Each structure stands twice: as structure tokens, then as C-alpha cells.
Structure 1
Amino acid sequence: MSSSASPRPFVYDGDRLVCSGVDVAALADEFGTPLYVYSADAVRERVAMIANGFAGVDHTICYAVKANSALGLLKRLGALGCGFDIVSGGELERVRRAAPEAVSRVVFSGVGKQAWEMDAALEAGILQFNVESEAELELLAERAQALGKTARVALRVNPDVFAETHPYISTGMSEHKFGIAIARARQVYARAAQLEGIEPTGVSVHIGSQIRSVEPFAAALQRVRELVEELRKDGINLRNVDAGGGFGIEYGTAAFDPAASVQQYAKALRSVLEGFDAHLLLEPGRFIIAQAGALVTRVLYTKQNGAKRFVIADAAMNDLIRPALYKAHHEIVPVLLDASRPASKADIVGPVCESGDFFAQDRETAELRSGDLVALLDAGAYGMSLASHYNTRVHPAEVLIEDGKTVLIRRRETLDDLFVAELY
């Protein structure tokens, strides 16, 4: 496997897995396991792909912080000129600490913004609030007036567009909790235009995550364009069109050309925006970081229970919950190849006391033995950001490979770290 043929920075150099040229086994020996490994080079490449796809279009890439909120990653994305899509006051604080120069490029999404979060974002001077309900709009107006600020807002409209993805990450249908019905949007914008402390600046839409077809994105954006044109006739001159995120990747072994996929996505959106004067906001997360990262884990034990073989690793569902939560697929590859190993089918599981603590079921790999290192690929998105301390387990370390050098961006937690906030 060569790096030029792979959409991932994790490739084999002889019989050793490397990430952007750095030996993964050596990283595991130095930093221990479980260990998250990311390639900053791959992240830069993905950002450049999106920028190239939308060259000539007035746009801002607002990275979705929820995908992976590591400060070391946000710092580098801010330096690349990215803005950020946030969904909490905590994520705002992460951007403020890691990339303060990018706060003015922040859009604040989410259905349950609290008053203190609104206050923090107003004081910070973010680009835009993506408002998801009429009650939220009223509270935002109150907070803006109290602080003597103006809140720039877009309504997140629900276009009722079906996108084929996991039901937990589909967000654009009328039965979902997100957004405001597009049919009601003109009335809500009229109210927003009357509210002191509110400045309508855009429209936002987000139909879901891990969507591989470009047609739903184009259909949703077409409805948004029509809405903006109607609102402009009403005298509400909106500038920003937030197309959301959700463009997917390939988690399996099927061919995937990320650059070509971005071009198809960009072509679909460009066709809708042709002749339309607006500033386009894009909110990619998974596409930028998922394939740039892997979770490296060491096999603790193997066992046979009846007809079932189990491979028990030192990583668990608290480190990477996607397989347990979504039945998500992650390729699992040995860090060191051994051609003498026969193929073997097993459940690859963690130590957590739940039957749902698995990374793969009945997965065929080269036979895995105690002490072996394996990498769970495409784990850069929704890995650490969904991690927990379940079973009082510490978080893994995170390292970033940048220009051939290894940067520790999160040390491994200690047990003492877990008890800092507790009183007894």
C-alpha cells in the first residue's frame, strides 16, 4: 500500500505501519496504549482540497469542533484560516484558547444554548448565531440588549430533505429536533428584524452527517436559496448562506478519492449558487479529521468461548464508542505485519463490563495474539470527542505528526486527574 494510493496517512513501509512517515510501533512504545495518533499533514491536505473545490466562491471553512476538539488541532486549523462551528460554550472556550484570532469566524449552532453561553459568545464577538427555535431567538435578543451588543443571526431551517445515513445522525427531516420549519422561516425572520439587539445576517441548514451522495446537499441548498431570495424581496437582506457539514468518507476498503469527492460536492453546491450573491459557510468536521487519525491499542488476551474467539484489547468503548453506539465499521490493521500468521475470525473487544464493548464482531484479520499492536483506522472524528471515563478509565494520550515530527498534544491522564472535581 502506498501513500499516493491511500486516502489515509496510515500506510505500510515494508512490514511496519507508519503515519506520515513516522513508525507507529515506536509511538506506542514511547507514549503507551491506547493512543490516538493524528496526521497534521493529512488535515492540511483536506482543508486545501475544500478550499480548491470552492476556489472563486466567497466562502469560509468553519471546522465542526464537535468532531475532534483537541486544542492542538484547533490551533493549527485556525492558523490555516479556518473558522469554527461550535455547539457549546465549552467549545467556544476551546477556540478562544487555541485560536483566538479565529473567534470572529465562529458560528454557534445547537438546539439548547443557555444564557451564559449566549453572553460569552456575544462578548467574544462571534460571526453568527445559528438560531434553532423562536424561544431561543427571544432569549438571545434579551441577552444582547442586556449586554449592549448586537447578535448576528441566521435561522437554522429544516428543509425536510432525506439523507441516507444512520438515523442517529440524520438531522434534516421534519420529525427531527433540529431547526425551524422552512415554511415558517419568513415569519420568524420578520420577527427577528423587529427585535432590538438582533441583526439577521444569514440562513443555516444542516441535514445530517456521513452523507455520501451530493444530491441531498444540493436539494437543501436550493430551498435555502429560494428562501433567501424571498426574504430579500421582503427587505431582509441576508449575506451568509451556511450549507452545514456532513459530507462523508469511506470507512471500509472500497476505493475512495477524497479530492474527487470534494470536487463533486463543490460542483453540486456551485450549480445551486450560480448567479447568487452570498457568502458561503461550510462546516466540515469528519471529512477533515476522521481519516487523519487512528486509535492504536495493544492486545491483552485472547480467549475461546465455545465457537467464539475473542481478542481483548486495552482500548475500550469509553475510548471509541462509535462501534457500540452506531455499529460503525472501522478497519482494524496490525501495526506489524507477519506473513506467517494465518487468517482468523474473532470479536475484537475491550475490557469494559458491557457486552456492547466491541470494536468488531466476527472480523477476519491476520491472527492476533497477546502483545500485538493494532490500529483502528478512521478514528480521528468522534473518537476522543465522545470518550468517557466509564469504569473509571483514564483518557488516552494524543499525538500529532507534523512535518515528520511528533507532537504530544494531550498527555495520558492519571487516576489523580479523575478525582480533581470530586468531594468526599
Structure 2
Amino acid sequence: MSIQVEDYFARDTFQKMKAFADKQETPFVLIDTQMISQAYDDLRAGFEFAKVYYAVKANPAVEIIAKVKVIFERLKEEDGIELKLINMGGGFPANYITRTNSLETYAEEIIRFLKEDFGDDLPEIILEPGRSLIANAGILVSEVVLVARKSRTAVERWIYTDVGKFSGLIETMDEAIKFPIWTEKNGEAEEVVIAGPTCDSADIMYENYKYGLPLNLAIGDRLYWLSTGAYTTSYSAVEFNGFPPLKAYYL
């Protein structure tokens, strides 16, 4: 699968980030703070009447709103309790291999359902935006440390990088999140297995889901893991098998 950087970053933003990244030693995460600020502004614009807190759990499922309305009404009628606030939860998604809707779209849908049930008398709303504020603003930059096949006749090519599950990519466990991976190398590609550097048998990011990477990819080439601003440095182990924690830079 060919990744187009322009699907995830404005061209000038990516060029600025890459120019900085080229001067640093891998692995590290690079965060564009302007993108975080813009995501926050977009969230506030979409939910102008809501308070925004940073948290990660729950889910802003619009089908729950009607049930919440019933709870509001029953408590008021039966017990005289007047509720005035809904925590909409959150964990709004980020753009990985599978793209998501914009924050504006989520806001429009949630507000539509709120107004259908509450009319103009909306309760106070709290949102927990989660990874949507920062994930898309990050690039994890790694370097290929080995390219190998398990035997002379092995079909699969293994790409080992200097970052893995224990150094920031724990969300690849069970291949749950499939990060967009970009490289400067071009040309014919083939499906590969991607693994980390620790020699631990669990340190394999993608073995079943096959990424297509160029045949001419070699030791020393860089891989750019897009949408990695969230849950990378915070999940990075400290000196696991002697590897230092993942570095982070903010532009």
C-alpha cells in the first residue's frame, strides 16, 4: 500500500518537520504543536458550548443520547432531581491506515442528536477528546537496522527497525493500530514483516498485515511512522534490553 504524506500533513508542515528530523539521530517522535493547536481550535469550534477536557476513555456514541434524555426526564419526574450535565466521553479517533471523519463531522452529528432530544435547552456538555488532539501531529522517525530473510528460500523479507513495541509502538500489539509508514525510497515494493530491535519474540509489529515496502530499502534508510503523536513516548519502556526511552521533539 502506497502512503501519500499529503493525506496526513500539509506539504509545508511535513517539509518543516522532515528538515528538522534529518538533523536528529533516530529513533524519536517529532510533534508539530501548531497542528495540536489547530485540532483544539477545531474541536472548540465544533462544540462551542462544551467544555473540553483531556482524557482518553469512553465513547461519544450518538445512539446513547436518547437514553440519557430518558434518564434526565425520569429522575426529574420521579425524584425531583434535575440533571444539568452530560459527559460525552471521547477518545475521538486519529488518522491511521483507515482514515476517519473530521472533527467537524463528529461535532455536527453529535450536536444534531443532542438537539433532536433536548431541543434548545441543551445541558452542559463535557468532552474528552483523547488522541484526536495530538496523534495526527506526530511522526515517529526510525531507521532500518537489518533486512533479512529467514532462509535462502524464504519468501518473506523481514525489516528490522531501531524502534519497536517496547520503544513506543505498543499499540501495534495484535496489530490493533496500523500506522501509515512512509519512506523516501521508491521503486518496486513487496510485502514485508516489520519487527523491532530488541530480539524479544514479541517485538514484531506487523506479521499478518503485510506492508508493502520498496525492494531497495536498505540498512540505514529511514521509516516515518505517521500519526504517532499519541501513546508512543508515554508507552516507551526505560532501558528494556538496554534500549533507552523514546526521545521527543516539539516544533
* TM-score interval, smaller chain: 0.7 to 0.9
Picking from 357, 360, 379, the partner of 2:203 is 357
1:218 maps to 2:212: no
Determine the C-alpha separation between the residues in 1 that align with 2:122 and 2:110.
Answer: 19
Distance 1:356 1:270, change over 3 A: farther
1:311 maps to 2:149: no
Q: How many residues are aligned here?
A: 239
- Could you say which residue in structure 2 is the equivalent of 1:185? none
SS of 2:105 mapped into structure 1: helix
Post-superposition Cα deviations, 1:318-351, rounded to whole Å, max 9, x if no partner, equal 12111124532111101xx344x32132111101
Shift of 1:315: 0.4
Letter in 1 for 2:250: L
Picking from 56, 63, 78, the partner of 2:54 is 63
Picking from 159, 180, 192, the partner of 1:331 is 180
SS of 2:81 mapped into structure 1: coil
1:230 maps to 2:78: no
Letter in 1 for 2:159: V
Distance 1:396 1:386, change over 3 A: closer
Post-superposition Cα deviations, 1:198-220, rounded to whole Å, max 9, x if no partner, equal xxxxxxxx34xxxxxxxx71221
Determine the C-alpha separation between the residues in 2 that align with 1:257 and 1:237.
Answer: 34
Shift of 1:298: 0.8
Distance 1:298 1:269, change over 3 A: farther
SS of 2:21 mapped into structure 1: helix
Distance 1:280 1:251, change over 3 A: same
Determine the C-alpha separation between the residues in 1 that align with 2:43 and 2:80.
Answer: 33
SS of 2:149 mapped into structure 1: strand
Distance 1:332 1:222, change over 3 A: same
Determine the C-alpha separation between the residues in 2 that align with 1:395 and 1:242.
Answer: 35
- Could you say which residue in structure 2 is the equivalent of 1:288? 133
SS of 2:140 mapped into structure 1: strand
Shift of 1:28: 4.4
Q: Tell me, yes or no, if the aligned pair for 2:114 and 2:122 is still in contact at 8 Å.
A: no
- Could you say which residue in structure 1 is the equivalent of 2:18? 24
Shift of 1:245: 0.4
Distance 1:256 1:371, change over 3 A: farther
Shift of 1:360: 2.6
Shift of 1:290: 1.5
- Correspondence 1:20-419 to 2 at 5 A: 21-24=15-18, 26-30=20-24, 32-55=25-48, 57=49, 59-64=50-55, 206-207=58-59, 217-233=61-77, 234-252=79-97, 254=99, 256-305=101-150, 306-318=154-166, 319-334=168-183, 337-339=184-186, 341-361=187-207, 362-367=210-215, 368-389=217-238, 390-401=240-251
Letter in 2 for 1:279: E
Shift of 1:280: 0.3
Higher relative contact order (CA 8 A, sep 6+): 2
SS of 1:243 mapped into structure 2: strand
Post-superposition Cα deviations, 1:29-70, rounded to whole Å, max 9, x if no partner, equal 33x211111121111221122222123x3x101122x5xxxx
List alignment gaps of at least 5 residues for structure 2: none
Letter in 1 for 2:128: E
> Percent of pairs identical after alignment?
23
Determine the C-alpha separation between the residues in 2 that align with 1:258 and 1:366.
Answer: 34
Q: Tell me, yes or no, if the aligned pair for 1:217 and 1:269 is still in contact at 8 Å.
A: no
Determine the C-alpha separation between the residues in 1 that align with 2:146 and 2:19.
Answer: 19
What TM-score does the superposition give when structure 2 sets the normalisation length? 0.82
Letter in 2 for 1:289: I
In angstroms, what is the RMSD of aligned CA positions? 2.6
Shift of 1:356: 3.0
Q: Tell me, yes or no, if the aligned pair for 1:309 and 1:347 is still in contact at 8 Å.
A: yes
